[in-house]
Amino acid sequence: MEHWDDAKWQLKNRINTLAELEARISLTDVERAGVLLAGSKLAMSITPHFFNLIDPNDPNCPVRRQVIPRLEEGWTAPEEMADPCGEDSHMPVPGLVHRYPDRVLFLVTDRCASYCRYCTRSRVVSGVGEQQLETQWEAAFQYLERTPQVRDVLLSGGDPLLFSDAKLERILTRLRAIPHIEFVRIGSRIPIFLPQRITPELCAMLRKFHPLFISIHCNHPKELTTEVHDALGRLADAGIPMGNQSVLLKGVNDSVEVQRTLVHKLLRCRVRPYYLYQCDLINGSSHLRTSVSKGLEIIEGLRGHTTGYAVPQFVIDGPGGGGKIPLNPDYVLERNEGRTLLRNYEGETFEYPEPTPAPAEALASLREKSSCCH
């Protein structure tokens, strides 16, 4: 198509309405109802690029479930929340989340190229939900300037790469001017939703701000198309290290097979799997959440069986504001003062003893031996 490769064309031609959606695929009743509900919760918007990955003949297509709303979204389970990670209560300045001692999450926009139905920030993202994101730019920069313990700033939102090159450059320049900020990263799903945005000009601008990392968000191997592979290659060639944050989603990527294919494809795109998130307790997400044991089973199925670089850390963001908490299969069977009893990925057990200090007599006799040789 004529303008397919142009990010502006992709954004202008997003699928935002029920009519636009139904003109392209036949929806199930559950989806049609979901689309009608979405307008007052989290908007629907799908780039033509991402929409193209949907299998129109498969109502359980893993791409479809991520971006086409469903009726179940309207049901709020008792355990669910509008702000499951307790971000609003950790903002010293509106838009700036300072939970950990040395790093901050800077929410710079409420817009994304497409909207993920399980978005943990759906309370503010897309502009139709119950709250508005009101980032106080100047107050946030001033907070960072006077808070020397912050050495790491994570730009997120929403999706920072929706900004123009010029606007991003202004933000990065201001951050880079702060001497104690050692490390900047951008969290973005644009390389997946809108690879056309990753232009050579963008990459040339970003590379001026090293060390700059990018965390992408990819959940299923189908998302890593040739266009995405090339976009990620341009970022990697600009010297930008990349990690992937994926969300464990029921019916999307909740099997060892899908996750293995995903992590292998990511490495081939020069992206290191970083976190695998247990889905946050966001309102209307129960149909997309799995049990915690599913995540542990996936890690168990990867660790040791494949390249260490391919294995993400499984985490739960502690509900209400606990931050990321790592979960691992139980490789430690027993631990006491004398030894640790372990099992490996194949289930064999091993014992690792604590160090035995050299006895005084042994050291004395060694000392004697060493002195007689001079």
**7 versus 97: smaller Cβ distance to ligand PLP:** 97
- Give the one residue of 16, 76, 103, 183 binding ligand PLP; rule: CB under 6 A: 103
Catalytic residues: 99-100, 103, 112, 116, 119, 121, 280, 317, 324
Greatest C-alpha distance within the chain: 94
Give the sign of the dihedral formed by CA 238, CA 217, CA 110, CA 18. positive
Report the residue number, 56 or 92, with the smaller CB distance to ligand PLP. Answer: 92
Dihedral angle, C-alpha 149, 151, 157, 163, nearest 10 °? 130
Residue 24 interacting entry, from ligand SF4, ligand PLP, none, C-beta within 5 to 8 Å by type: none
Q: CB-wise, 103 or 294, nearer to ligand PLP?
A: 103
Choosing among ligand PLP, ligand SF4, none, which partner's interface includes residue 116 (Cβ < 5 to 8 Å by kind)? ligand SF4
Q: Judge contact between 245 and 278, C-beta under 8 A.
A: no
In this chain, which stretch among 100-108, 163-171, 194-202, 351-359 interacts with ligand PLP, using CB under 6 A? 100-108
Contact 48, 207 (CB under 8 A): no
Task: Report what 99 binds from ligand SF4, ligand PLP, none; CB cut-off 5-8 Å by kind.
Answer: ligand PLP
Give the integer Cα–Cα distance in Å for 234 and 161. Answer: 15
Q: If contact means CB under 5 to 8 A according to the sort of partner, which of ligand PLP, ligand SF4, none does residue 154 touch?
A: ligand PLP
Judged by CB under 6 A, the chain residues 97 through 116 that form the site for ligand SF4 are 112, 115-116
The interface with ligand SF4 within residues 116-155 (CB under 6 A) comprises: 116, 119, 121, 125
Residue 349 near residue 333 (C-beta atoms within 8 A) = yes
Question: Which of 103, 303 has the CB closer to ligand PLP?
Answer: 103
Q: Which residues pair with 205 in a beta bridge?
A: none
Of the pair 183, 331, the CB lying nearest ligand PLP is at: 183
Torsion of CA 200, 165, 184, 265, to 10 degrees: -40
Determine contact, residues 207/240, Cβ cutoff 8 Å. Answer: yes
Strand-pairing partners, residue 215, are 187, 243
| Angle (deg, nearest 10), helices 292-302 and 256-268 | 60
**Tokens 């992937």, located at residue:** 244
Among positions 211-250, residues that touch ligand SF4 (CB under 6 A) are 217
**Cα of 353 vs its chain's centroid, Å:** 38
CA distance 104 to 141: 12
Q: Using the rule CB under 6 A, is 184 a contact of ligand PLP?
A: no
Residue 121 Cβ vs ligand SF4, minimum distance, rounded to whole Å = 5
User: What is the token pair recorded at 35?
Assistant: 């689309």
Single out the residue of 154, 247, 252, 276 in contact with ligand PLP (rule: CB under 6 A).
154
> Does the protein bind ligand SF4 through residue 280 (CB under 6 A)?
no
Out of 96, 97, 133, 232, name the contact with ligand PLP by CB under 6 A.
97
Select from 338, 370, 255, 336 the least CA-distant residue to 302. 255
| Region binding ligand PLP by CB under 6 A among candidate stretches 43-51, 96-104, 129-137, 259-267 | 96-104
Which helix (H) or strand (E) is 105 found in, with range? Answer: strand 103-107
Query: Does residue 158 interact with ligand SF4 by CB under 6 A?
Result: yes
Give me the residue label for tokens 């290290």: 241
Exactly one of 100, 183, 209, 345 binds ligand PLP (CB under 6 A); that residue is 100
CB of 87 to ligand PLP, least distance (A): 6
Burial (CB count within 10 angstroms: exposed 0-12, middle 13-18, buried 19+), residue 56: exposed
Contact positions toward ligand PLP, by CB under 6 A?
97, 99-100, 103, 105, 154, 324
Contact positions toward ligand SF4, by CB under 6 A?
112, 115-116, 119, 121, 125, 157-159, 189, 217
